[in-house]
Structure 1
Amino acid sequence: MSRSGAFCPKCGDEFEPPEDRPALPGPKRDSERVLCDACYFEEFDLVDAPETIEVRVCSQCGAVHKGNRWVDVGADDYTDIAVEQVSEALGVHVDAEAVDWQVAPEQLDRNNIRMHTEFSGVVRGTPVHEQVSVPVRISRQTCKRCGKIAGGSFASVVQVRADGRDPTDEEVERAKTIAQEYIAEREATGDRNAFITETNEIDDGLNMKISTNQMGHGIAKRITAQLGGGYSDSKRLITEDEDGQKLYRMTYAVRLPRYRQGEIIDPEDGDGPVLVTSVQGNLKGVQLATGEKYEAQFEEGEAPDARRLGFREDGQPTTLVAVEDENAVQVLDPETFESVTVPRPAYLDTDADEVPVFKSHAGLHVLPAAESDDE
């Protein structure tokens, strides 16, 4: 008679079964079928590993395909991604306890990595150890986003123009930078629908093709917030989706202000030239004859009729000869070097030996110091 009353159902040998434990719901584990240790470990695998693992990588932007979507990882070296996917693919036997493991990647070439893994644990009170090597292949493809860009896909157009003039090179470059920064911010939130398909500089401004209508609207809004002016929108029906929903392509027409900050204009209202200090909302500036603040009375986004005279950088330093009275001073004309009486604006420093002046058809005027423009 058996001392334990247990026989292995596979080999028939008598053995001492594991300690009794409560029955668990669900499928029985191997140890619950009570095989002897020899038979149990004969077919025991501590680790279940796939024959190979494929990591799908976008060859254009470097995104990695995970689950059913592409994810931006911002990496050139995909070893960490390979380690992560191998970790998710490996299965450890349910009977194993106190499991520990480590991995050593071996870069075979640009597209192939061999993952050498080593596992240890305890099964039926017996320490077990297993080594597994898993080949990982980096498969370079094109993600959906880069496919759209390559195919010229876009939903909106942002047009940058200026009122009554052509945008300057600086304004065009700034508009492009604003758009790029906006898209980068959206990308940083994980929005893979954010991209600029095409940017074209033309004689009278800039055209940008943007991925979505929402992105186009956001860019137009930000450009006018930073550069001034306003924008309008229009839509054109391009197709219908499979559910019969109409799809529109939006055009956002940005109109930069007629005048630029730092420009000198003459509203021809009898008060003389004005140095423009702000183009946000109503045009604001300072009157060169008196130093008083100027604000145009017009609807937001419009500009007053005025004669363009030049820019503050056209000013020249000259000698302050004398202060005549509270309304006038004498300076040297920078072209004729003759002493000329000019208006005395409130911002003039009467103790200065030299002052900047601007000469135009409206006469000679003292300019404010740069730091006092917005005071």
Structure 2
Amino acid sequence: MKGSIRGNFCPKCGKASETEGLCRECRIGDTPWFTCDQRVKHVQCPSCGATKLVNTWTDNERDKTALGQELARSAVHFHKDVKMPAIEAWIDDITINRSRANLKVRGTLYKTPVEGSCSTEIIWHKEQCDRCNRISGSYYEGVVQVRADGRLPSTFELETSAQIAQQIEDTLQAGGERLSFINDMNIIHDGIDIIIGSQHIGMLICKGIVAQLGGRYTTHPKLVGEKNGRQLYRITYSMRLPRFQKHDVILAKNRYYEIERIESHNVRVFDLRDGNGRSIRQDDVERIIGNARSAESALVAFADTDTMGILDPVSCKTVELPKPGWLDAHSGDHLSILRDADHLVVVR
């Protein structure tokens, strides 16, 4: 009984205690319920704004105000028994690289509200990130060389290839692959060279171009050195677009066709005379007239059941043509045409 009575009194102040040992007030007084770091450091890339945590860089879109609040709060560390912790921070810039944060700290410790204050210094440190360091140093791990088989790539193909590469880079960057970047893109006389920061992005760019434009690619690695016992390679991705592209207008066996799909040895076409679809051998193609994407616009001067007159936009003369079976044309309509020497070819 005596031990029970002694256990209900605080051994420090003598007041009644709810539990054995110190009373609530003495427990609070003897407990450092929060600590505050004297300074916190934030490392940010001045070029792209990425932030560094320990040795890892991550892209960051928050402004300095939001970052300052987060950094100031990170300086406070609560005792494990503190419930409902709350922090208010007021930040003043001292210099361009230093800020002072004054903090008001609240919480509940052993069912008693507690309150305190502290201050911390925020160091804004600038350091070039891993990605920007590589880009500025012209670092690369490969080149995607986009060319066409037996011809020059069209403007459409070059622009599409560049867009595909940019979209893949954006997707990888958003997914955290910071070193999968495009260092440069150069359009040259026979294609486009895409200089890349990782082998992964090179493979994805080639696959994306094949999926959208067709063709094939091969890889050609070259040993360029060794690092930490590991051999380093640069890879040339030789991307070859097909001999024909979608919407090419071709001449084969005295008929004009518009290509809809390229197959292994054949092309699937739309007959510009009767409108039927068919497959013809690539070896049967005599020549390419042009591409329907670059067609001219011409006015229909007259049209009847079998013939129509088209006003040539260059000579301003009316040219009479057989009316294609797939075309419903009337006087005053505008059609798309390509030129094959002195002939006008109506395309879709």
Using structure 1 for the length normalisation, give the TM-score.
Answer: 0.76
Map of 2:259 onto structure 1: 276
1:197-216 alignment runs, 5 A limit: 197-216=183-202
Question: Cα deviations across residues 77-117 of structure 1 (Å, max 9, x unaligned)?
Answer: 133333334433422235x5444322223241543333222
In the TM superposition, residue 329 of structure 1 has moved relative to its aligned partner by 2.8
Question: Cα deviations across residues 279-311 of structure 1 (Å, max 9, x unaligned)?
Answer: 57653332223322243335xxxx764323234
Aligned pair count reads 335
Alpha-carbon separation, structure 1, partners of 2:10 and 2:300? 113
- Please tell me whether residue 308 in structure 1 is matched to residue 294 in structure 2: no
In the TM superposition, residue 219 of structure 1 has moved relative to its aligned partner by 0.3
Map of 2:91 onto structure 1: 106
Unaligned runs of 5+ in 2: none
Alpha-carbon separation, structure 2, partners of 1:49 and 1:332? 84
Alpha-carbon separation, structure 1, partners of 2:285 and 2:344? 22
Residue among 318, 322, 326 paired with 1:347:
326
Alpha-carbon separation, structure 1, partners of 2:39 and 2:104? 17
Alpha-carbon separation, structure 2, partners of 1:249 and 1:232? 14
How has the CA–CA distance of structure 1 residues 122 and 233 changed in structure 2, closer, same or farther, with 3 Å as cutoff?
closer
Alpha-carbon separation, structure 1, partners of 2:84 and 2:339? 85
Unaligned runs of 5+ in 1: 9-13, 22-31, 371-375
Question: Cα deviations across residues 118-174 of structure 1 (Å, max 9, x unaligned)?
Answer: 122445665432111212121111112221222222212101112233223343232
1:14-163 alignment runs, 5 A limit: 15-16=14-15, 18-21=17-20, 34=22, 41=29, 45-75=32-62, 77-94=63-80, 97-108=82-93, 110-123=96-109, 127-163=113-149
Which of the pair is proportionally richer in strand?
2
Map of 1:180 onto structure 2: 166
Mapped contact 1:290–1:344 kept (Cα < 8 A): no
- Please tell me whether residue 257 in structure 1 is matched to residue 242 in structure 2: yes
Query: What code does the residue aligned with 2:15 have?
Result: E
SS at match of 2:299: strand
In the TM superposition, residue 72 of structure 1 has moved relative to its aligned partner by 1.4
SS at match of 1:139: strand
Mapped contact 2:219–2:237 kept (Cα < 8 A): yes
In the TM superposition, residue 38 of structure 1 has moved relative to its aligned partner by 7.5
**RMSD of aligned residue pairs (Cα, Å):** 3.3
- Shifted more, 150-159 versus 224-233: the winner is 224-233
Structure whose alpha-carbon radius of gyration is higher: 1
Alpha-carbon separation, structure 2, partners of 1:209 and 1:117? 49
In the TM superposition, residue 276 of structure 1 has moved relative to its aligned partner by 2.9
Using structure 2 for the length normalisation, give the TM-score.
Answer: 0.81
Report the identity percentage.
25
Alpha-carbon separation, structure 2, partners of 1:125 and 1:199? 64
Mapped contact 1:79–1:113 kept (Cα < 8 A): no
How has the CA–CA distance of structure 1 residues 278 and 317 changed in structure 2, closer, same or farther, with 3 Å as cutoff?
farther
SS at match of 1:283: strand
Question: Cα deviations across residues 322-353 of structure 1 (Å, max 9, x unaligned)?
Answer: 33xxxx5353574585674x444320226666
